[in-house]
A and B are shown apart, each in its own frame.
Chain A
């Protein structure tokens, strides 16, 4: 792009730091690209270690290359996955037909269907309608309104991707904040509201496959590598208690660390009422999308094991088009096509590591040497996932840890499903940094949140989340036959 083609809204900014720092930032990408290639070549040219085949070694080199690129984001995540998909057959790890067929994994199509359903809800205004209808029921006092801003996005994230929920609710919360005359960073209640939005959407996002597509990715890798599967309902049953406890913890933390400095939220309640009125009654289109959504979720719960989840999602998508509830053009705007590509490649890489024996080899040579307690291993994996997600994409964390995690589970005889939960649930519960999750980033952009406070309270929330998750593995999971 030539400089004169810049437009406002493209987020053009000028880096005013000293030139050496700017140069370092600029060359960071080239340095990481070179480092990634060097690491790849190094691993591939080392003598093959005992217990690993040369094919496994090549799979490992590809994994390391992708790892560096995923962590540093020197290339877009989706492009790194595509690179993996090309390298796997080129290096003879899998044959090309097999490698490319992994792109047709049902998790990929499930995610595609889920995105399209969410797009229809957003485009039609159904999601805003739902948000305002639910939010109306709260209010009355600052505490109740805060609970509303926590619970409404949490609930919506059961049905839609958490980042879409946060983006959709952001302007509503911003208007509420302005309506209450809250000043960015100055009023405590303003900070509480945006933390509440971010935490609600993030916590809700771990409850189903729909909130965080990383959940579906983890299950996709599970199915491809082991043949096992976790149903829609099964997932919810296993994770929902953690979600509910975390919502309770979040509310208490919000009340404790952000004591309200406003007396009345009457203006906000009025504003929500007005907004709700201005949206009018739900129209036929919105109702029909709502009905399709309800039927789809019911079908996922009750028919998910008979028909594939992806098939149900795609049938729902076809229904949307049959009733002309969405146009293809809308999908191009709302669907994150990059994630679809990323997941296809990540699943292929996970399978390649598993089939070549590389993931078992990693498990044997790393964790096995340190401890032999399955609980400690799960705790360690959950901790690593949580820490990584604070600094990198949630999806990349899942793509990175799943192959290794499955190898470890096999070594220790840990239920594969437990490993899936141990990786993907903490991967959605990063609270300390704006980049930890899309809802955090969106809420942070309001200007209301103080970074230091986000960090200190976020770290605490991280560890409470880990604790709650581990308690569930010990207290609750045995009741549903998930024995650790």
Chain B
């Protein structure tokens, strides 16, 4: 059997086609525990695999996209392998973090408060996104509408503490759906940011909707948030309007671009990201989106569309690894051209990113700027804080004494 493979291509294969669990893997203690947690939080089973070359991939097992998939996850002795009829690749299965089944003092299961994705701990402190309660929901949305209960600052702090204890929270990513307010939900996030920064030595990124005015973007940076995502999701205007009715009517596509442009000026290079979901629009349109965003100083993240069974887009554009790889090469080249780094997202395991792109023949990842600075966490924090101190001004700094 062939053990030669390309990790980037394999990642695409696994994301698009899914993987079946072999009986040998199914009975392993790691999978049993992962299943148990998935049941407790009413979420589909997701597994984190590390492919050779430290390529991270998150696979949703139950939503096996291609029922005919040939990929299976097997266990031999203590090792896991991804196999098909021609290939056998040793992979490392990341066991679900220990903190997942711990409870916060208010009795919440921590897996519901924070989910680990690579080095990121994703926290969604509010109830559901307001789009989900009307007919405004994004058509590609896979957010669990049932997981609506609010998490307190204390719940989040305890979860981060437990996650940090096992080294699972280098970055805390706070996710806010749509909240009908001028600030895009930032005011709601600020108490969390304040306490997290006070108690932990972590970087914080926030995924939110663009606020109505740029003043909020400046405040977002001033408040200590290190990275920000306003997710456009698709570049094509017509498709955007069709599949993101809430975003279209209550935020507006133009506002995404304006807000991203301001944010890219305010935050350090590479710290502003925006999703362009691959597979929701023609490839040419994704190319255009990549070009426009990178020229603005925004790093596109390119998650691959995984249709939720039973959803409107269940049988959307058919994706093949062959059709996908040029997109990542294009992304990598665009980042290089615009001297942008993608270090902030390098550990997102749910997206294929520029770091993986060199597996498809793209140029080597951009090494300048933040990736190298960020190598040492201490140094990076120092540099980031210093930058913030220098750049943030308050009215008091600007003002005369009013005499």
Contacts and interface: CB of A to CB of B under 8 A. Distances in A.
Contact of B223 (A4, A76, A394, A435): A4
A8 B216 contact: yes
Contact of B266 (A16, A78, A438): A16
Contacts of B266: 14, 16
Interface in A407-442: 435, 438
A12 B403 contact: no
Interface string B368-403: 000000000000000000011011111110111111
Contacts of A3: 197, 222-224, 388, 392
Contacts of A280: none
Contacts of B197: 3-4
A14 B198 contact: no
Contacts of B398: 11, 13
Contact of B391 (A4, A6, A22): A22
B314 to A, nearest CB: 42
B402 A12 contact: no
Contacts of A355: none
A12 B215 CA distance: 7
Contacts, number: 96
B401 A338 contact: yes
B35 interface: no
A124 to B, nearest CB: 22
B216 A26 contact: no
Interface residues of B, number: 32
A402 B340 CA distance: 57
A8 B401 contact: no
A26 B194 contact: no
Interface in A20-70: 22-23, 26
Instruction: Report which residue of B187, B221, B265, B391 has the largest number of chain A beta carbons within 10 angstroms of its beta carbon.
Output: B391
Interface residues of A, number: 34
A12 B213 CA distance: 13
Given A8-B216, A14-B391, A339 B223 contact: no
B402 A163 contact: yes
A220 B283 CA distance: 76
Interface string B194-236: 1001100000000000000001101101111000000000000
Contacts of B394: 1, 6, 10-13
Contact of A14 (B187, B194, B218, B396): B218
A73 B219 contact: no
A15 B218 CA distance: 9
B190 interface: yes
B193 to A, nearest CB: 6
B291 interface: no
A283 interface: no
A78 B403 CA distance: 9
Contact of B222 (A14, A26, A393, A394): A14
Contacts of B194: 2, 4-5
Nearest to B264: A16
A291 B266 CA distance: 53
A12 B401 contact: no
A406 B399 CA distance: 31
A3 B222 CA distance: 6
Given A3-B388, A11-B398, A12-B219, A339 B403 contact: yes
B155 interface: no
Contact of B183 (A6, A8, A16, A393): A8
B219 A4 contact: no
A23 B401 contact: no
Contacts of B222: 3, 6, 12, 14
A342 B215 CA distance: 33
B137 to A, nearest CB: 29
Contacts of B198: 4
A66 to B, nearest CB: 14
Contact of B193 (A4, A8, A11, A23): A4
Nearest to B195: A4
A479 interface: no
B215 A8 contact: yes
A98 B313 CA distance: 85
B395 to A, nearest CB: 3
B7 to A, nearest CB: 38
B390 A22 contact: yes
Contacts of B400: 73, 77, 393, 435
B191 to A, nearest CB: 9
Interface of A: 1-8, 10-16, 19, 22-23, 26, 73, 76-78, 163, 336, 338-339, 342, 393-396, 435, 438
Interface of B: 183, 187, 190, 193-194, 197-198, 215-216, 218-219, 221-224, 265-266, 387-388, 390-396, 398-403
6 contacts: A3-B392, A12-B219, A14-B221, A14-B266, A435-B400, A438-B402
Given A10-B395, A73-B400, 12 more contacts: A4-B194, A4-B224, A7-B219, A11-B398, A12-B215, A12-B218, A14-B266, A14-B393, A15-B390, A16-B391, A22-B391, A163-B402
